Amino acid sequence: MIKIWKNYDHVPEEIALTFHDIEVLRCGQAVSKQYQKDETSIGDLSTLRGMLRHLYHSTCGYCEGKFPPYQIEHYRPRKAKPTKSAMQWEKHAGYAWLCHEWSNLLYSCGACNGGKLNQWPIHVSGQRVQKPPAEFQDWRANATIMQGEKPYLLNPELDAPEEHLYFCPTGTICFATERGEETIHLCKLNRYDLVIRSRKYIIDQAREDIRQALLNFDQGYGGQRLSQQAFKQKLTDCFKPLICRLVQGQLHTEPFSLLHWHILHDIEIFCIAQLPQEIRAIFQKMAPLWRDIQCEFEEQVRIALLKNNMPEIFTRLMAIVEQQAVSQEKFNQELKYLFIPVFYDFVFLLGGNQQQFFHNIEGLAPIQQKLLKQAWKLCCHDGRWRFQPIRQTQGVSIRLKHAGKEAGT
């Protein structure tokens, strides 16, 4: 699962509801919208699909895979799930009134959507929303009344997936919380193609790369007497391509980004432990230096990626500025949503350190620096965004807490 930043105020025109539409939906009747009719004919060209595709980086919001064709997924299902066998808190009458609600529309692959279907279990202590709330604002997924349902299914637009899910070297996705467990179950996140063909494949490839890097290092410099500085430099040179690839894989635009983070930060568990004894011995000799090399080089790669992405980000920003009569409020909103994912990628490494962040953007043009600083302030002042290195602290504690639990998932 990936973290998605969606602006709930920026509703695509195809699903914008009139006062009349809201009243019709409230009465339990259907409202016809253009995007439903276009599902097969216009497909990905429709504005709604285009916006979702862009927001989700052509990636499934649940499994993080790039498995087209994608579907517009209703987080709260439109249809009822009244089956007698279902537990009381799994029964519901459907949320047909939310079928055009922007915050209820996610982007998902067919397999995840097909696994979940109309299931919508809520926590036993949750309060089921049985009918449309009186205030239209309360129809939003982040409204207090909707959150009060305590849904089990994680929402990539509202939850921090890394607090609930983590990975094992076999490619299995594991849970750290009850909601994580239920999400894996609902969307079948441990299905064969995801575990074996996608995640295990990525892990095996990283393991092979590190095996090769360790062998190359041993054969090239193993017998040489090198100063510590030279030793570290040679090691860095050998590991550069691997670290580069694993950092790039962590960007929010890439599939299985959370897995890439786990591989790089838990390399002993994901890669080294499965290698033959003689290769493990090579790693053991350099183990004390590995963390330094990984941190330093990861930082360099991330900063380089950030700077490389700047021209494209600013082009998009300028397109917004050039729009006629864009208000300061709208501009700030666009600025915030444009940079949140960038900061998310960046601060995971730098731990949300403002000083370090500003230091690293010093080489950019003054106008770019000014806008970046403005965006940073806007994002930090918005209580919804947490700029803390969640993965760095949580990942380790989750792993320790749940070590050995894989067999039970």
For Zn ion, the binding residues (CB under 5 A) are 60, 62-63, 109, 112
- Closer residue to Zn ion in complex, CB, 63/264: 63
Compute how many other C-beta atoms are within 10 angstroms of the C-beta atom of residue 348: 21
Exposure letters 38-77 (e unless 16+ CB within 10 A, then b): beeeeeeebebbebbeebbbebbbbbbbebeebbbbbbbb
- Closer residue to Zn ion in complex, CB, 62/239: 62
- Residue 396 in contact with residue 389, Cβ under 8 Å? no
- In 266-327, alpha helices (H): 267-270, 277-321
- Closer residue to Zn ion in complex, CB, 56/217: 56
Residue 340 has phi, psi (to 5 degrees) of -55, -50
Amino acid at 242: L
Q: How far is the CB of 30 from Zn ion (least distance, A)?
A: 27
- Closer residue to Zn ion in complex, CB, 132/180: 180
Q: How far is the CB of 159 from Zn ion (least distance, A)?
A: 16
- In 27-79, alpha helices (H): 34-37, 47-55
- Closer residue to Zn ion in complex, CB, 46/198: 198
- Stated as kind and residue range, the H or E segment containing 108 is strand 105-109
- Closer residue to Zn ion in complex, CB, 185/336: 185
- Residue 242 in contact with residue 293, Cβ under 8 Å? no
Please report, for the chain, how many H helices and E strands are present, in that order.
Answer: 16, 4
- Closer residue to Zn ion in complex, CB, 1/372: 1
Q: How far is the CB of 193 from Zn ion (least distance, A)?
A: 10
Residue with tokens 């055009």: 100
C-alpha 35 chain-centroid distance: 26
Q: How far is the CB of 56 from Zn ion (least distance, A)?
A: 10
C-alpha atoms less than 13 angstroms from C-alpha of 29 in its C-beta half-sphere: 8
Q: How far is the CB of 172 from Zn ion (least distance, A)?
A: 16
Q: How far is the CB of 357 from Zn ion (least distance, A)?
A: 33
Distance from C-alpha of 230 to C-alpha of 233, rounded to nearest angstrom: 5
- Closer residue to Zn ion in complex, CB, 109/210: 109
Q: How far is the CB of 63 from Zn ion (least distance, A)?
A: 3
C-alpha 160 chain-centroid distance: 8
Q: How far is the CB of 180 from Zn ion (least distance, A)?
A: 16
Compute how many other C-beta atoms are within 10 angstroms of the C-beta atom of residue 276: 8
